[in-house]
């Protein structure tokens, strides 16, 4: 049975504006899926429904067989911005998910330091968010999401504001971390090559529908150089064409 | 701009003033010379008869500030957290703030008698509103993403308030404190005009009775100094508390 089962999910705002239609999607445990689409196509809404932050108008989402009714401790969420609390040192930002639930122990602190080490920021644990660069802040946000050892990681364009080099570094580290821990990931992006590099499966979304699905059959672990191989570029251009076709279709026939 | 020029300007002003008093026909009862004011100020401070008034006014100001700010802060939290209370009480809170508090002074004297209590209550009432309003604004303007983060982590309402809303709104809340500090001094001095037996406001009224304008000027200088000291202390506390917040505070982290 699929780890995440999204069954006929639709969403409508109070104003009756419909942003999601009939979404069916299964994600197997340990897979890395990306959802790609232009701004305003409903990607973030779907992610928030899976996170339990929004309740779907129809259909339902189940994680590990249990219907999602509210946010869960076992789901990590990485936002579009690092979203750190600037009045807390890095270590306390990473420990936030723990300290909300219980008093932190020495073990928690050690695990937080270990997690910071995996994102390369152990030496910065006592500094404050404003003293870190944008890329470093994104790393802290990932460490914070991983501190609870979530089975599922939901990521909403977490690298969109970063420069290309930093973004590549973070993608490489994210892939390593997730495959090491067997974390299932659903990643939202509007960057095609980012999606292809990271994912096992990609869904293309437009106007609240999933329009197309792609399987990325590039073996893992992926070296950075796969980005320059023909197979990679073919996939990118196939996805690009599919998005373009949708765009043209919607212009010719708005229905 | 070099600070020396500011001091030179003051010196120039004082010299002009002194010369004006010496060479014009205006009575020293109306405008005393700076040197005369200086002598009164020095005597008052060195012989000690002004200190009791300084302490009285500072104490009333500090106590009124403490009570007004605490009640304002707590009310701001309550109103910020409960839409029901906000809708219910806001028109009355606003109406109560439009009444000039000083106009209520005579009534407080009827209720609480002459003396410190009335002054402290007037001061507290004046300090209440800026804190209420800034606390309310501060805790309501937390970015959606941060609130979603706390929902994701399963934080309770109280945790969200203490760990997110208050620290995030701190710069706005402290700006309210700064406004309150300035108003508190006005409250304390004018409160003493009405009801004080001791205090700098009462001293001004007493000086008026004796036509001792030099003493009045001396007291103005002391009041200004108290105001500046309180303001500086607040700014220092603010700088300390906000040392980790990025500039602008509101949009930090975005």
- Report pLDDT for B253: 38
- Report pLDDT for B250: 40
DSSP assigned state of B248: T
- pLDDT-derived band at A254 (thresholds 50, 70, 90) equals low
Pairing of strands A18-27, A66-67: unpaired
Q: What's the ipTM?
A: 0.88
Q: Does B131 score more than 50 pLDDT?
A: yes
> Cβ distance A94 to A112 under 8 Å?
yes
Largest CA distance in chain A: 62
* A contact residues 129-158, partner B, Cβ 8 Å cutoff: 129-130, 137
Q: Does A68 score more than 50 pLDDT?
A: yes
Mean pLDDT, chain B, as a whole number? 90
Query: Rounded mean pLDDT of A5-23?
Result: 90
CATH for B39-247 (1.10.340.30, 3.40.50.1450, 1.20.1630.10, 1.10.3720.10): 1.10.3720.10
Q: What is the pTM of this model?
A: 0.84
- Sign of the torsion angle spanned by Cα atoms B89, B90, B95, B99: positive
Q: Does B251 score more than 50 pLDDT?
A: no
Query: Rounded mean pLDDT of A171-195?
Result: 91
Query: Rounded mean pLDDT of B87-94?
Result: 91
- Report pLDDT for B197: 83
| All residues at 6 or more sequence positions from A131 whose CB lies less than 8 Å from its CB, including other chains | A124
- Report pLDDT for B254: 33
> Cβ distance A116 to A122 under 8 Å?
yes
A227-231, B1-5, B78-82: which range is least confident on average? B1-5
Ordered by start, the domain boundaries in chain A are 4-74+150-252
Say yes or no: A86 contacts chain B, CB-CB below 8 A: yes
Long-range contacts of B37-46 (CB under 8 A, 24+ apart): B37/B214, B37/B217, B37/B218, B37/B221, B39/B214, B40/B212, B40/B214, B40/B215, B40/B217, B40/B218, B41/B218, B41/B221, B41/B222, B44/B215, B44/B218
- Report pLDDT for B19: 92
| Cα–Cα–Cα angle for B120, B125, B126, rounded to 5 degrees | 100
- In CATH, the number for domain A4-74+150-252 is 3.40.50.300
- Report pLDDT for B53: 93
- The whole-angstrom distance between A13's CA and the closest CA on chain B is 17
Structure tokens at A39: 């701004």
| All residues at 6 or more sequence positions from B6 whose CB lies less than 8 Å from its CB, including other chains | none
- Report pLDDT for A166: 87
What string of DSSP letters covers A178-213? HHHHT-EEEEEES-HHHHHHH-SEEEEEETTEEEEE
A238-252, B48-62, B117-131, B204-218: which range is least confident on average? A238-252
What string of DSSP letters covers B59-128? HHHHHHHHHHHHHHHHHHHHHHH-HHHHHHHHHHHHHHHHS-GGGGHHHHHHHH-SSHHHHHHHHHHHHH
Query: Rounded mean pLDDT of B186-202?
Result: 88
> Cβ distance A139 to A145 under 8 Å?
no
> Percentage of chain B surpassing pLDDT 70?
96
Strand A184-189: give its sheet, edge to edge: A75-78, A152-156, A184-189, A32-37, A201-206, A209-215
Chain B residue whose CA is closest to A78: B149
Pairing of strands A18-27, A4-12: antiparallel
Query: Rounded mean pLDDT of A161-174?
Result: 89
Q: Does B247 score more than 70 pLDDT?
A: no
Gap between the Cα atoms of B154 and B161, Å rounded: 13
- Report pLDDT for A219: 86
A151-155, B20-24, B97-101, B186-190: which range is least confident on average? B97-101
Considering only CB atoms, A100 lies closest to which of B148, B153, B245, namely: B153
Gap between the Cα atoms of A117 and A150, Å rounded: 18
Say yes or no: A101 contacts chain B, CB-CB below 8 A: yes
Q: Who has greater pLDDT, B227 or B195?
A: B227
Query: Rounded mean pLDDT of A114-122?
Result: 89
- The whole-angstrom distance between A32's CA and the closest CA on chain B is 21
Gap between the Cα atoms of B27 and B73, Å rounded: 49
Would you list which residues of chain B are within 8 Å, Cβ to Cβ, of chain A?
A: 145-146, 148-155, 159, 163-164, 167-168, 170, 244-246, 252-254
Q: Which residues of B touch A77 (CB under 8 A)?
A: 148-149, 152
Q: Who has greater pLDDT, A60 or A245?
A: A60
Gap between the Cα atoms of B184 and B176, Å rounded: 12
Ordered by start, the domain boundaries in chain B are 39-247
| All residues at 6 or more sequence positions from A153 whose CB lies less than 8 Å from its CB, including other chains | A75, A76, A77, A78, A145, A146, A178, A183, A184, A185, A186
> Cβ distance B194 to B118 under 8 Å?
yes
Gap between the Cα atoms of A4 and B6, Å rounded: 70
B168, containing H or E segment? helix B166-195
Give residue-wise pLDDT tens across range A70-111: 998 889 999 999 999 999 999 999 999 999 999 999 999 999
Highest mean pLDDT among A117-131, A212-226, B66-80 belongs to B66-80
> Percentage of chain A surpassing pLDDT 70?
98
- Report pLDDT for B55: 94
| Count of Cβ atoms closer than 10 Å to residue A198 Cβ | 23
Chain B interface, mutation test: which of A86, A94, A95, most B Cβ atoms within 10 Å?
A86
Q: Does B249 score more than 60 pLDDT?
A: no
> Cβ distance B165 to B142 under 8 Å?
yes
Chain B residue whose CA is closest to A92: B163
Structure tokens at B21: 């008093």
Q: Is A155 exposed, middle or buried (0-12, 13-18, 19+ CB in 10 A)?
A: buried
């Amino acid at each position: 049975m699929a780890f995440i089962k999204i069954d006929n999910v639709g969403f409508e705002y109070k104003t009756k504006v419909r942003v999601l239609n009939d979404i069916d999607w299964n994600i197997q445990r340990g897979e890395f899926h990306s959802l790609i689409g232009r701004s305003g196509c409903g990607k973030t809404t779907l992610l928030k429904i899976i996170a339990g932050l929004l309740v779907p108008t129809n259909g339902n989402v189940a994680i590990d067989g249990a219907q999602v009714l509210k946010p869960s401790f076992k789901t990590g969420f990485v936002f579009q911005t690092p979203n750190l609390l600037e009045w807390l040192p890095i270590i306390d930002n990473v420990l936030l998910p723990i300290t909300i639930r219980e008093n932190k122990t020495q073990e928690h602190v050690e695990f937080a330091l270990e997690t910071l080490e995996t994102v390369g920021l152990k030496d910065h644990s006592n500094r404050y968010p404003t003293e870190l660069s944008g890329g470093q802040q994104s790393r802290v946000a990932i460490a914070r999401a991983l501190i609870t050892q979530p089975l599922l990681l939901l990521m909403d364009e977490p690298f969109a504001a970063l420069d290309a080099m930093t973004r590549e570094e973070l993608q490489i580290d994210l892939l390593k971390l997730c495959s090491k821990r067997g974390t299932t990931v659903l990643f939202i992006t509007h960057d095609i090559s980012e999606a292809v590099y990271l994912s096992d499966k990609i869904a293309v979304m437009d106007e609240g529908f999933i329009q197309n699905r792609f399987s990325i059959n590039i073996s893992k672990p992926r070296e950075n150089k796969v980005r320059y191989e023909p197979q990679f570029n073919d996939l990118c251009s196939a996805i690009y064409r599919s998005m373009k076709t949708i765009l043209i279709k919607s212009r010719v026939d708005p229905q | 701009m070099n600070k020396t020029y500011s001091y030179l300007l003051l010196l120039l002003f004082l010299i002009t003033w002194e010369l004006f008093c010496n060479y014009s026909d205006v009575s020293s009862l109306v405008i005393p010379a700076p040197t005369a004011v200086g002598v009164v100020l020095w005597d008052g401070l060195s012989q000690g008869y002004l200190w009791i008034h300084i302490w009285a006014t500072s104490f009333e100001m500090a106590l009124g500030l403490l009570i007004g700010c605490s009640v304002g802060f707590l009310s701001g939290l309550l109103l910020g957290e409960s839409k029901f209370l906000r809708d219910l009480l806001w028109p009355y809170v606003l109406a109560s703030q439009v009444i000039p508090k000083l106009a209520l002074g005579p009534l407080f004297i009827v209720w609480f008698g002459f003396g410190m209590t009335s002054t402290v209550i007037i001061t507290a009432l004046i300090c209440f509103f800026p804190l209420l309003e800034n606390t309310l604004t501060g805790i309501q303007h937390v970015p959606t993403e941060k609130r979603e983060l706390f929902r994701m982590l399963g934080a309770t309402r109280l945790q969200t308030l203490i760990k997110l809303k208050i620290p995030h709104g701190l710069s706005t809340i402290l700006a309210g404190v700064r406004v309150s500090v300035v108003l508190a001094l006005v409250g304390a001095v004018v409160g003493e005009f009405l009801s004080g037996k001791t205090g700098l406001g009462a001293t001004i009224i007493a000086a008026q009775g004796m036509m001792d304008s030099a003493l009045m000027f001396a007291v103005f200088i002391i009041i200004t100094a108290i105001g500046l000291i309180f303001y500086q202390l607040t700014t220092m506390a603010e700088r300390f508390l906000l040392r980790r917040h990025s500039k602008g505070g509101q949009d930090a982290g975005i």
